[in-house]
Structure 1
């Protein structure tokens, strides 16, 4: 294994639109202080009608391509939200074209919110397996604020869904970091709990599906899902975290920085307990919200910008996505 395979650069992009906790309180009927204190959200970014997931991804990638020739990118992997500009359509192709990465082939990975730690594993494994690959651009966009129905009591708790873009350059000879090992768990018994009811082959779009607002995200039975999820979620987070650390030849005490997806505060605090860290050693996106698979990538970008990453720090990207999949990837920060 080439031990220098790592993340060389990261970038993030956020649209200008903002919704505050006060505005979300008006939409949801949940008190502003509860949104801030329990759900961990002061505000989130919201894209306008002119920007879509692909556009957010493209804008996130542009700063990276001021540091590397677009023609030096060998592969582009879109790892962002499945709620894209169009259905049955590849955002990766548009991204490749708009960025001028003519030598790259492009494809998409989709495992909803769990996808960034998995995308790091896939990129690393591809570089190990194929000597011709030097640079892989991971890029994602999210406009999931658009699919929250605030009139639906089953799903309006997902008001933290937000918009943005994220990108990471994974390279064969990284001076910045080293991607270590990953762990992934899927419990497919949750496959039908969270979905957009209409738009696919099960429930093709019609006048009725639009009238019934079935093109927004929904939870089929919230109390049942919560009961089953509460029993396994923390256990599975702990398992993937420990396995990723163990497979990397490390101990839990070696972890210095945690990069989780945005969750309610109680879950965030549980994750901190698992790794034995204080909040100042993590990135909690309480001013940005949850952006599908983008959160840990954005967290890494923020951690670098805020000076939280020191030479030889062990960083842990942790996420989970409906379906239900839990994933973690360990990263060794090298610095310049």
Structure 2
């Protein structure tokens, strides 16, 4: 047995927005949202549920039947849009889960973070014999920062809400975390951001009146012109490199666990790897939840019996800024 994921958890708020609801909000036809955005519906949290609540609910599911005192580290890897500004959710999550023996911290790289978090957890356990169990936990309420009246943010209309968690342990009988590959192209650092709230444009009456507290794309056409030629190539690169480092090839992939993207990008990625759609989890009933998507995909794969002993899964994601990341997981669980 090696260092791997022992258990996962998910939580989704009860509120749902369908493609028809989004069509009313955006003016985009319902069938376009379904067929091109790849979104049938998504979960949306109300004012009573926040990022830490979503993460805690998922964390409880992941550690069900496990003594929380056996957790050595709690790492929050979710959305940077949290309950409060300049605030760490990790200590609250540690406290509410009863993981009193764990120290807690956060890593954040927007949507690319789950494959990175798997690498961090694996490397920490490998380098520190005192660590047995690390709980990776994330939440997302990014539906709240979308301005549907802003056409520049169109590609983010699939942003949704939820929570997920993965318990990484030294001796996992369920799976083994293998190798990772990460690529950053910092030339995209200025393309996507929430303009106000930071030190450059501190919150004021003016920033609120100008709707500067919603996520925005500075120049969509410029970003598209620069990103389209490299995006799929970079996805393909990190997947192939992570597989090569793990001793495998794309032909060995049993299941791809990608972030939710528009359907054309999803299909193009599969074509580049020569994978059929049934070898990927596509979250068309959940949308995009920052860094959570690949972890949620893994949870669904277990629930649906899509993985058997020896199967290779690849968690892959990308985050604005722009970073692409992939981590290979070898499944060791029971045969379905």
- 1:280 & 1:191 partners in 2: Cα distance? 34
**Which residue of the partner structure matches residue 309 of structure 2?**
311
C-alpha distance in 1 between matches for 2:127 and 2:4:
15
Using the alignment, how far apart are the partners of 1:279 and 1:315 within structure 2? 14
Alignment partner, residue 152 of structure 2 = 154
Q: Specify the SS of the correspondent of 1:234.
A: helix
Q: Is the 8 A contact 2:181 2:326 kept in 1?
A: yes
1:220 aligns with 2:215: no
Calculate the TM-score normalised by the size of structure 1.
0.98
Match of 1:93 in 2: 91
Q: For 1:221-240, what aligned pairs fall within 5 Å after superposition?
A: 221-240=219-238
CA deviation profile, 1:136-192 (whole Å, cap 9, x unmatched): 000000000000001111113311000000000000000000000000000000001
On the 8 A contact 1:148/1:156 being kept in 2, the answer is no
Indicate the residue corresponding to 2:208 in structure 1.
Answer: 210
Q: Pick the aligned partner of 1:16 from 8, 14, 17.
A: 14
Contact 2:12 2:43 in 1 (8 A): yes
How big is each residue's C-alpha offset from its partner over 1:30-54, in whole Å with a ceiling of 9 and x where there is no partner?
Answer: 1100100011000000001011111
Q: Deviations over 1:44-85 (max 9, x none)?
A: 000010111111000001122222100000000000000000
What is the CA distance between 1:231 and its match in structure 2?
1.3
Matches of 1:157 and 1:311 in 2, distance apart? Answer: 37
For residue 61 of structure 2, what is the aligned residue in structure 1?
A: 63
State the secondary structure of the residue aligned to 1:183: strand
**How far is the alpha carbon of 1:273 from its aligned partner?**
1.7
RMSD of Structure 2 on Structure 1 (CA): 0.8
Within 2, Cα distance between the matches of 1:24 and 1:121?
A: 36
CA distance in 2, matches of 1:274, 1:68: 40
- Distance in 2 (CA, whole Å) between partners of 1:103 and 1:221 is 47
| Distance of 2:275 and 2:234 partners within structure 1 | 18
Find the counterpart in structure 1 of residue 107 from structure 2.
109
- Residue 128 of structure 2 corresponds to 130
Give the C-alpha shift of residue 274 in structure 1.
2.7
Cα deviation per residue 1:198-240 (whole Å; 9 max; x = unaligned)?
Answer: 0000100000000101000000000000000001101101110
Shift of 1:276: 2.2
User: How far apart are 1:4 and its partner, in Å?
Assistant: 0.5
Question: Aligned residue pairs: how many?
Answer: 334
Give the drift of 1:281. Answer: 1.5
Residues 1:145 and 2:161 are matched in the alignment: no
* Structural mapping, 1:1-336, within 5 Å: 4-336=2-334
